[in-house]
Structure 1
Amino acid sequence: METSAVPGLVRLSGRVREPAWLSMAALRSMPQRETTVRFECRKSGARRHYFTGPLLLDVLSAAGPMFDAAERKDRLRFVVSVLGEDGHRAVLSWGEIDPEFGNAAVLLAVAMDCRDLDGQGPHLVVPGDRCGARHISRVAAVRVGDDAGLWS
């Protein structure tokens, strides 16, 4: 997967109609959500942070995921893989973020604790996770995929 060498640029690719390089300004131009998360970090213990940014669902929907949006079951075949600049990866199912299913308010945060993340790039924020392992700092790439090939 191709990633960015410029902090703050995120490569959006995969099964989307409009792949793109997203800047922090582009992410800020989208409707913003706010959330406070608490999670356990294996290395630094309990953490609490306040984040602002667009919903991951809004970012991906703007790119035009390649499924039949009217067909619920078609959406459930899709996954979202997120890659940090340090190689840290996490995968979410489309069903987790879809309002008709899990409706998790997952963010691509542009600010943390009221400080802009322009020098770092966005963070993936998964509210509700007890462990911080799916929190990804310095997101470099987001890829949408489906289960094609898994059942052949």
Structure 2
Amino acid sequence: MRLVVVLAAMALLAVPSGRAGAQEAAPAVQAPGIQATDGRAIELAVPGGAPIRLTARDLARLPAIEQEVAFQTSQGLSRARYRGVLLWDVLEANHALATGGHHDELRQIFSVTGRDGYRIVFSVGEIAPDFGSRAMMIATAADGKPLAGLRLIVPGDRRGARSVRDVVKIEVR
């Protein structure tokens, strides 16, 4: 079942195999007052709705969390205390999740794309509080210092490959 979900998600979103050779992502349209070089705005694409532009200020309206996260990278162990908001809270606050049917959210997937075109696909069930309850977050700071761009953090992964730097788009299907 898990393999079918992963293959279906890859087919739907044509996921690049990695950063090498990935196409450059179109920059997200910035909200008024945010400089294009700021790197702190995300386009949230939701089923049946117009794209939503989220800035760091929008995220600051949601409950903040902090998590100590460590994962292996190609340059060794990376460890930091990240501050930001739960991705589940972002999706829920912006009405991006399916409702109405029995566990509709479990039929949804979402992709997260970085400024460099790097894209990772997840099942909404991974972050749903009643199911996987993984505390994925959009981080705005690491070790008390603001990040240059917003970053998806995936706690619990041994490797950091699913954490996406400079997030510019989240698409829910």
TM-score (structure 2 length as normaliser): 0.76
1:90-135 Cα shifts (integer Å, max 9, x gaps): 1111000001100000000111111112xx2210000000010011
1:95 matches 2:119 = no
CA contact (8 A) 1:28 1:110 kept: no
| Unaligned 5+ runs, structure 2 | 1-24, 30-35
Deviation at 1:65, TM superposition (A): 2.3
1:27-71 Cα shifts (integer Å, max 9, x gaps): 1221101101110102x1111011011100000111112522562
> Is the alpha carbon distance of 1:78 and 1:53 closer, same or farther for their aligned partners in structure 2, counting shifts above 3 Å?
same
Aligned partner of 1:135 in structure 2 is 163
CA contact (8 A) 1:39 1:131 kept: yes
Aligned partner of 2:28 in structure 1 is 4
Distance 2:48 2:73 in 1: 33
Q: Classify the secondary structure of the residue corresponding to 1:30.
A: coil
CA contact (8 A) 2:91 2:97 kept: no
Distance 2:47 2:154 in 1: 22
RCO higher in 1 or 2 (8 Å CA, sep ≥ 6)? 1
Aligned partner of 1:59 in structure 2 is 90
TM-score (structure 1 length as normaliser): 0.85
Deviation at 1:14, TM superposition (A): 2.9
AA in 2 matched with 1:105: A
CA contact (8 A) 1:33 1:53 kept: yes
Distance 2:143 2:97 in 1: 35
Aligned partner of 2:53 in structure 1 is 21
After superposition, residues 44-123 of structure 1 pair within 5 angstroms as: 44-68=75-99, 71-72=102-103, 74-117=104-147, 120-123=148-151
Distance 1:107 1:136 in 2: 11
| Unaligned 5+ runs, structure 1 | 146-152
AA in 2 matched with 1:109: A
Deviation at 1:17, TM superposition (A): 4.6
> Is the alpha carbon distance of 1:71 and 1:137 closer, same or farther for their aligned partners in structure 2, counting shifts above 3 Å?
same
Q: Classify the secondary structure of the residue corresponding to 2:172.
A: strand
